[in-house]
Structure formats: C-alpha cells, structure tokens
Structure 1
Amino acid sequence: MRLLILGAGGVGSAVVKIAARRPFFEHVLLADYDLGRAQRAAAATGDPRLAAARLDASDEAAISRLLTEHRIDAVLGATDPRFTMPIFRAALAAGAHYLDMAMSLSRPHPQDPFSQTGVKLGDEQFAMAADWERAGRLALVGMGVEPGLSDVLARYASDHLFSEIDYLGVRDGANLEVLDEAGQPMFAPTFSIWTTIEECLNPPVIYQAGRGWYTTEPFSEPEVFDFPEGIGPVECVNVEHEEVLLMPRWLKAGRVDFKYGLGAEFIGVLRTLHQLGLDSVVPVRVGQAMVSPRDVVAAVLPDPAQLGDRMRGKTCAGVWVRGRGLDGRPRSSYLYHVVDNDWSMAEYGCQAVLWQTAVNPVVALELIAGGVWSGAGVLGPEAFDAVPFLDLLAGDYQSPWGIREL
C-alpha cells in the first residue's frame, strides 16, 4: 500500500512511528504545511519507505496532484477537522481510498441550537456517499480511537454479546497528569486544543430511537463513571462527538450518547475561553495581522506531542452497552481499551493519547490492504466485522482490549 498522511502534528507523527513497523506499506508520504516538521517526523523512523512533502491541506487541487504524482492508494487525514472536506474531495477526485479521525464539521441550528440539530458532524461527507460508491472507492470516516475503536467495540458487542441493545454510551476518561519543571501538575491539554474546543463547546448530540438526533446544552447530564485498570471514578459530561452520528446508521440501539471525562478545571477553562470569545475561529485584526482567536490559544499552549516525558497515568476509551445478552437476560458491559503513558513512551516514544488515536487507522489500513475490510461509499467502522480488527490490535500491535461487567 502507498499511503499519504496529511498532517505531521502529534497524531500524524505517531501514525508514522507505528506505520514504520508494519511491512504492508510500500511507501508512506507525510505531508504538512511545515515541511521541516514533516521531514523530522519521517527521518526519525530511519525507514527509507517514508518521505516528506510540503502541502497546504486547504488546497484541494494540490492534494489531488500529490496523490496522483505519488500513485497513492489511500490518504489519511491527520489534520484538524477544518481540512476534512478538502482532503475528502481530493481523494475522491484522485481515485484514492480515504480515512479520517475527525469528520466534517457541524453547524448548530440557527434558532434552537440546544434542542435541534443543524448541520451534523459528517453530513457533508455522507451527502457524497453515492459519488464514492460510483467511483468504487472507500471513505472510512471516524477511524481514530473515539470515533473509531469505540465504534468497533460497539459492533463487536452487537454481534457477539447482546441480542438487544437499549443503550450505547461512549465513555472517555483518564487519570493523566502533565507535570511542570518542579514536578507539580499543570494545565496542558493532551490532545489538540483546537479540536477539543470544537467538540466541547458545540451543542452535544444525542440519539434516541423514535426521536432521532437532538441536541442539549454543553457539559450537560454529568455523571461519575468508574474507569478500569486503576483509573477510577471520573466525572463525565455530554460532548458533541462522531460516534453518536455513526453508530445508529449501522447498529440498532435505543439511545446513543458520548460523555467525556474532562474534569472541573478543564470545563472551567473552556467556559472562560467561550465567555472571552477566544473559542472563535473568525479572524480578528491585531495590529496589522488578522488572526483567529482559537489559533492563538492553540499557539500559546504546549504542543501535546512534546508532553509525553512529562506525563503520567493512563487513558481509557470505550463503550458502555446495556440491553439483553445472548441468553435473553439483562446485561451491562463496558468494552474498553487502556493505554499507559509509560508503555507508549517506552515502546514508541509517543504519549498515550496520541498513540491510542494513531494506532487504529493503521490497523484499519492493514485490514484494507489485505482485503479483510473492503467496500465502497462513505462507511463508518461499524460497517465492518470487528473481530479481525480487535484480534490484530491485541495481537501484532500488542495493545489488548477488555470487557468489564457492570
């Protein structure tokens, strides 16, 4: 397989490190608007199959040209979701398969944002599904960890654990800490703050059978969820996320939601950013320059990719499934995947959150390259058999998943 990775930030650089260990790649091109960043990430692997290029992810025509010039089989978007659609359209034009970890952006309902959906996450991509089907190419959307692995786990539960599902609740939590130079905990997001602001301050979407998709207030319905493997209780709140838009398309469930363990401090920071207008992506004039407030926030915070050696703890992604088991009796199970930062740093030199996100598209690409996963159109992870994915993740990739009965 010949792969283009667009974006050499934390996740893109982690994808490169994982891909360098997999023999099914013939050629991997890492492209970024910052050529030096892409070159450093590619060179760090020491793998001659990897190369770097400069590319603006907003330039659809340039992406198509690069895909054609390098005879790319598949493109992976590892940028923030502002650039999802240019990459998506360019891949279709060039006849390449497509994967992303963040779907096309939503736009809140103009009159009733906290009750009704407007443009939903992924709507722009699903509107082009017929074009992908006619082209005979696969657009695998939402194939990170959340969305991504959580969706695979939900498909596994539907196929192998439950005869009827009342509830699919994605739960994301961690006990990760970032330490300052004095060894004291400090505020530093472990994932892209641009994306985090987008998903946390938009109206969260919930799916209810018979009602469909609807929205609620940000940070609503707080609950304490007890995460496994020593992470423990974490308060989780409703957040906008792709799983809620993906799972009901392929899986039958009474309700689907996503709750994120943000913590009181992080919620307070996000609310303050919103009150000050610093979450806005609309450029404002500062002296002679026009700058987006959100881009400024991202620029002044530490780069998540550089925090690994100052982090400690574990991160957990999973889905809480309630309904009736195969025996017809009530069942409540949490299917999950945990990554310890000490392990991911020692094994890959990547901090846990970025590695956990990056490994899943690589596993999916291996299944696509081997013909185990195949299809045409715009499809989510739920559209595929979960067993080969989970077996490969726990086996060759040495990253097991688990089930806790609740």
Structure 2
Amino acid sequence: MRILMIGAGGVGDAAARIAVERDFFEVLVVADYDLSRAQRTVAEASARRAGETRLIAAQVDASDDAAVAALATEHGATHVFNAVDPRFVMPIFRGALAAGADYLDMAMSLSQRHPQEPYAKTHVKLGDEQLATAGEWESAGRLALLGMGVEPGLSDVFARYASDHLFSRVEELGTRDGANLAVYDEDGNETFAPGFSMWTIIEECLNPPVVWERARAEAAGGDLEAGFFTLPAFSEPEVFDFPEGIGPVECVHVEHEEVLLMPRWLDADRVTFKYGLGEELITILRTLHTLGLDRTDPVRVKGVEVSPRDVVAAVLPDPATIGPRMKGKTCAGVLVTGTGKDGQPRRTYLYHVSDNEETMREYGAQCVVWQTAVNPVVALELLATGVWSGSGVKGPEAFDAVPFLDLLAAPKPEGYGSPWATEER
C-alpha cells in the first residue's frame, strides 16, 4: 500500500504518528499546502521509529483535483487519505479517482440548505455529491470509503456491530458525543479553544441537523431519501451521562454524517446524532451567526477579500497546539435501543474514550485529534491486508465491524492498544 495523505494539521499529524508504528504500508506521502508543515510532520513522526524512511513530505493545493491526481500518480499512490476540512472533499475525491487510487476521508461533501424550508426539509445532503458517483467508482474497480474518522467512522462501526451481534431489532441508532475537556491559558485560567477545526464546528453546528425515520420513508413508498428531514440548530436538548468519569453533558442535534450513512446499510427505525456542545460554545456559535461571522463567502475589508469564517478560525488557537494545555477525556459512542437477541428490550451504549493525558504522553497529540486519527489508520490496515475490500462509494457500516474493533483494541504490537466498551442502560 502506498498512501498519499493530504493534510498535515492536527489529525493528519496524529495519523502519521500512529501509522509509523505499523508495517502495513510501503510509503506514506504527507502533503499539505504548507510544505514546511508537512516536513515537520514527517520529521517528528519518523523520529518515533529508528531507521524510518517510508514517510515523504510534499506540497499540494487540495482545491485542485488535477494537482491531487498528479501528486498521487507521481508517487504511485494506491490510496488517497483526505485529512483536511470538508470544503476540500470533492477535489481530493475526484483527484483520487482520476489517479486510479482508492480514497478514504473522515468528513463528507458539504450540504446545502433547502431554499424555502431549511428547518423541515433537506436539499443537498452531506455526501450526496459523492454517493451520486458510486457507479463511476464501481466501474473503475475503486473504493471510496467515506466518513472513516471517529464520528463518523468508529460510531458507524459500532452501529454495524450492534446490529449484527447485539440486537434482533433496532429502534434507534443514536450517536452521542461528549467530553469534560478544558483548555487553560499560560496563567492557568480556563479559556476557549476548540479541540478541532473551528471552520468545521461552525459548519456542522449551525447547519440544520438531519434526522432519519423509517416511518417517513415507508409513507413515501419505501423511498429511503424521503426518510431524511431537518430541525432547527441545537434542537431537542437532552442530558446524557457519559462513562469513565465524564458524567452528564447536555447534548443537542447537530448535522452529521452518521445520519446520512447508517440508514443506507443498517436496519433501524430512527437515526440521530447529538453532540455535547456546552452552553459556552452554543452561545459563541449563535453570536457568530448573528454577526454574520459564520459566512464562507468573501467580504471586502480595506481592499482585501476575506471569508469571515476563515478569519474566526485563524484567530483561534490551532487545535494541534493546545494539547499541553488541555485536560480531560472525550467520548464517542452510539446508544442503540431496541430488542436484544434474546427478545427482550435492550439499550446499549457502545463507546470509546480518549484521555488527553495518555495521548499526549504516548503520541504528543491531543485526545480529540488522536481519537479521530486512529480510526482511518486502522481502516487502511484492514484494506491493505484484504480483510476489508470492495468497490464503489461506501460508509464504514458496509464492512464487517469485528475485525476493525478487534484490531483497534488488541494490545500493541498486534493491534493499536485502544480498547472500546459497552454499557447497558
């Protein structure tokens, strides 16, 4: 396997540090618009293993599909791993196919609101642009694995595992994400600093969240697409008690890829995603929206064209740098409700917790980006060994969950030494 990874930000850097411990790939090209950032990732990841020479730094414009294809072809890439924010999904996606490579990402092509009823009806949904090309990828004999981070990604794997092994009927697949993370300034005072891309946080949290319901699809004659509908941002708050000392966190509906993927491969009555944003972040997001600072279209400021959202992201700390000042844990999981294999009602939370103290000590990466990065690396290893295979455009739930979860949890060096757990509710 020869991998072209595009993006040397927090997640890309963590992925390189994780991957360098493994033997399943021949070459890992780390490419970024900022060559110096790619070079830094290559140097620091390579230093983790004596004699390491498989990592190469390169420069690329992720917005240019021809440039992506050219770089992939130059290095004979068999797989293109997209580790940048979702506005670059489509050019990287197209570039991979043009180069004859398989593709993997952690976030899908962007949505567009319904022009008349944005808080009731969907319009262009997350991933629609990619899923529409499934035939092209199948004809080319290539695989595009979408949403293979932690959420989406590991959450979808959990859903597949629960559907196959724990439940005979699923009423709801409810992804629930929460944390007790805190970031401190140089004087030890708690400060605001998001754990991952602020650009992406604004995108997914201010967009109308999507829910899927089987009843709506059946009412439309079995049309799966008719089962999707939207709600206002931050709808239906609930307090969810997260495990391993995190405790109760208020969670709200957020637009997320799981809801767009799970109904396509799994059998459930309802699919939802709720995220523990916290009162402070919700207030900040509402204020940004009110001021128009969530906009992506450029505005002219003293003769210079700038995107308000890019400015907001630029003035906040880089998520890759806040690890030493962060404390706490983050939890990703799926609450599955329905009927167990024994015919009795069952509510099971399948989850994975990442502790910032541990990820900083072992990888020099803060826990949010590390937890996101480990899953695509596991998936790439399964693809390299042929345990997962296929063609077309697919989500993680299209594949057998057991090999993934076993490899993730197995102690090093056989596995990744990152256990997951279940909790009956």
The answer to whether structure 1 residue 226 and structure 2 residue 231 are counterparts is no
- Equivalent position of 1:307 in the other structure: 322
- Equivalent position of 1:185 in the other structure: 190
Please, what TM-score do these two structures have when normalized by structure 2?
Answer: 0.95
Give the whole-Å Cα distance in 2 for the aligned partners of 1:9 and 1:291: 21
- Equivalent position of 1:43 in the other structure: 43
Counterpart selection for 1:141 from 138, 146, 161: 146
2:58 aligned partner, one-letter code: A
Give the whole-Å Cα distance in 2 for the aligned partners of 1:70 and 1:44: 21
- Equivalent position of 1:276 in the other structure: 291
Give the whole-Å Cα distance in 2 for the aligned partners of 1:48 and 1:270: 43
Give the whole-Å Cα distance in 1 for the aligned partners of 2:238 and 2:73: 49
- Equivalent position of 1:244 in the other structure: 259
Give the whole-Å Cα distance in 1 for the aligned partners of 2:302 and 2:14: 37
Kindly provide the CA deviation profile for residues 122-181 of structure 1, in whole angstroms up to 9, marking residues without a partner as x: 000000000000000100000000000000000000000000000110000000000111
Give the whole-Å Cα distance in 2 for the aligned partners of 1:359 and 1:327: 34
Give the whole-Å Cα distance in 2 for the aligned partners of 1:32 and 1:180: 29
Write out the 4+ residue segments of structure 1 that deviate beyond 3 Å after TM superposition: none
The answer to whether structure 1 residue 114 and structure 2 residue 119 are counterparts is yes
- Equivalent position of 2:22 in the other structure: 22
Identity among equivalent pairs (%):
69
Give the whole-Å Cα distance in 2 for the aligned partners of 1:378 and 1:141: 7
Kindly provide the CA deviation profile for residues 192-216 of structure 1, in whole angstroms up to 9, marking residues without a partner as x: 0000000000000000112100000
- Equivalent position of 1:32 in the other structure: 32
The residue correspondences of 1:149-168 to structure 2 (distance < 5 A) are 149-168=154-173
2:303 aligned partner, one-letter code: Q
- Equivalent position of 2:59 in the other structure: 54
RMSD of aligned alpha carbons: 0.5
Give the whole-Å Cα distance in 2 for the aligned partners of 1:280 and 1:48: 42
The residue correspondences of 1:190-205 to structure 2 (distance < 5 A) are 190-205=195-210
1:398 aligned partner, one-letter code: G
Kindly provide the CA deviation profile for residues 285-323 of structure 1, in whole angstroms up to 9, marking residues without a partner as x: 111210000000010000010000100000000000000
Gaps of 5+ in 2: 47-51, 217-226
- Equivalent position of 2:97 in the other structure: 92
1:45 counterpart SS class: helix
2:313 counterpart SS class: helix
The answer to whether structure 1 residue 403 and structure 2 residue 419 are counterparts is no
The answer to whether structure 1 residue 13 and structure 2 residue 28 are counterparts is no
Gaps of 5+ in 1: none
Kindly provide the CA deviation profile for residues 73-123 of structure 1, in whole angstroms up to 9, marking residues without a partner as x: 101101110100000011111110000001000001000000000100000
Shift of 1:185: 1.1
2:186 counterpart SS class: coil
1:119 counterpart SS class: coil
Give the whole-Å Cα distance in 2 for the aligned partners of 1:338 and 1:45: 23
Shift of 1:276: 0.4
Give the whole-Å Cα distance in 2 for the aligned partners of 1:351 and 1:379: 29
1:78 aligned partner, one-letter code: A
1:69 aligned partner, one-letter code: E
The residue correspondences of 1:259-298 to structure 2 (distance < 5 A) are 259-298=274-313
